[in-house]
Amino acid sequence: MKLLAGNSNRPLAEAIAASLRCELTKATVHRFADMEVFVEIHENVRGEDVFIIQSTSYPANDNLMELLVMIDALKRASARRITAVMPYFGYARQDRKSAARTPISAKLVANLLTEAGAHRVLTMELHAGQIQGFFDIPLDNLFSTPLMVPDILEKTGTENLTVVSPDVGGVTRARGFAKKLDVGLAIIDKRRERAGVSEVMHVIGDVKGQRCVLIDDIIDSGGTLCNAARALLDNGAISVEAYVTHGVLSGGAVAKVASSALDRLVITDSIRPTEAVRVTEKIRVLSMARLMGEAISRISSESSVSSLFD
């Protein structure tokens, strides 16, 4: 087995390698003067089972191109099997035609990875489960419950606890957490009555006197979670915290979270945390290195990955 890292999240790649007690494969991944991607692998990979660790986070297009070029380099170096390990799968939010004449970019990315020569994809908490069907190669979609549920039990406990989905689309994910924690479930129904009018938040379920935990897969601008936290408190919740797998946190999202009604935001390191994230007291980062490393080990040894969640 060989591990190869791109530039998107080198610290996570090193932590995964440490959890597997192996070294990252020596390689050069850099840019020419005109920003073209250049890859050179400095070790023999012929006949090897190679895992490329690369999130397609900001800058998404650059990191995606890096991944594609690394796959091509390995294919031409006669690697036996190439697995794209994408802790964060970019373009996952474009999983359907949201309006006329719009793309389904998640399917395009699936096609690009397959045509480049990837034999398998390993990712974490896809925005939409149906994206697995966009691939004609095996895809393993890890869930964040083994990582986050023990943390919730340790830091928060289950007394007067309610799991909350910040929108209708995330109910299945939140229900999984509620089942694991054996607590109640509530849902935020958000709607915009007409253009130019702010969203109205309706809470489905009784949260009065409850400590609420919002569960989501992605936080980008932070508006939805911050507004949901305020709506929950207005409906009688004692406190609100959020557990989110992928901390995109673009623009002024970190400042928005810091000044919000959220007591705490917990994210993973699927996307490399910025300096603003690291110094913000309200945001805590969980490492997915051990979970991702265990999945890589099981794939390499042809063992069950789904049993990780039993």
pLDDT digits (tens, 9 = 90+) for 117-147: 999 999 999 998 899 999 999 999 999 999 9
282 is catalytic: no
pTM as predicted: 0.93
End-to-end CA distance of the chain: 26
pLDDT at 192: 61
pLDDT at 129: 87
DSSP states along 223-286: HHHHHHHHHHHHTT-SEEEEEEEEE---TTHHHHHHTSS-SEEEEETTSPPPHHHHH-TTEEEE
Residues 168 and 57 in one domain: no
Last residue of a domain, one of 142, 177, 197: 142
- Residue 24 in any domain: the answer is yes
Residues 81 and 152 in one domain: no
- How sure is the predictor about 307, in pLDDT bands with cuts at 50, 70 and 90? confident
Residues 159 and 200 in one domain: yes
- How sure is the predictor about 308, in pLDDT bands with cuts at 50, 70 and 90? confident
- Among 75, 190, 256, 282, the one annotated catalytic: 190
- Residue 299 in any domain: the answer is no
Tell whether residue 54 is among the known ligand binding residues: no
Tens-place pLDDT, residues 232-256: 999 999 999 999 999 999 989 999 9
Residues 138 and 196 in one domain: no
Tens-place pLDDT, residues 48-96: 999 999 999 999 999 999 999 999 999 999 999 999 999 999 999 999 9
Hunting for tokens 């039993």 — which residue is that? 310
Q: Give the mean model confidence (pLDDT) for residues 31-42.
A: 95
Is residue 292 over pLDDT 90?
Answer: yes
What does the alpha-carbon distance between residue 265 and residue 285 come to, in Å, rounded to a whole number?
9
- Residue 307 in any domain: the answer is no
Residues 88 and 187 in one domain: no
Residues 158 and 102 in one domain: no
Residues 135 and 12 in one domain: yes
Tell whether residue 192 is among the known ligand binding residues: yes
- Residue 310 in any domain: the answer is no
pLDDT at 169: 86
Residues 61 and 80 in one domain: yes
Residues 163 and 205 in one domain: yes
Residues 123 and 150 in one domain: no
Average pLDDT, the chain: 94
Residues 199 and 252 in one domain: yes
Tens-place pLDDT, residues 104-114: 999 999 999 99
Tell whether residue 36 is among the known ligand binding residues: yes
- Residue 191 in any domain: the answer is yes
Residue 155: alpha-carbon gap to chain centroid = 22
CATH number assigned to the domain comprising residue 171? 3.40.50.2020
Tell whether residue 56 is among the known ligand binding residues: no
For residue 162, the cross-strand partners are 184, 212
Nearest to 114 by CA among 68, 45, 55, 78: 68
Is residue 262 over pLDDT 70?
Answer: yes
- Residue 88 in any domain: the answer is yes
pLDDT at 310: 65
Nearest to 211 by CA among 281, 150, 245, 262: 262
Residues 160 and 102 in one domain: no
- How sure is the predictor about 190, in pLDDT bands with cuts at 50, 70 and 90? confident
- Residue 298 in any domain: the answer is no
Dihedral over alpha carbons 132, 10, 81, 42 (to 10 degrees): 160
Q: Give the mean model confidence (pLDDT) for residues 269-275.
A: 96
Print the domain residue range for 247.
145-287
Last residue of a domain, one of 100, 120, 142: 142
Last residue of a domain, one of 86, 121, 142: 142
State percent of the chain over pLDDT 70: 97
Strand 27-31 and strand 37-41: pairing? antiparallel
pLDDT at 157: 94
Is residue 228 over pLDDT 70?
Answer: yes
Is residue 193 over pLDDT 70?
Answer: no
- Residue 304 in any domain: the answer is no
* Number of domains the chain is built from: 2
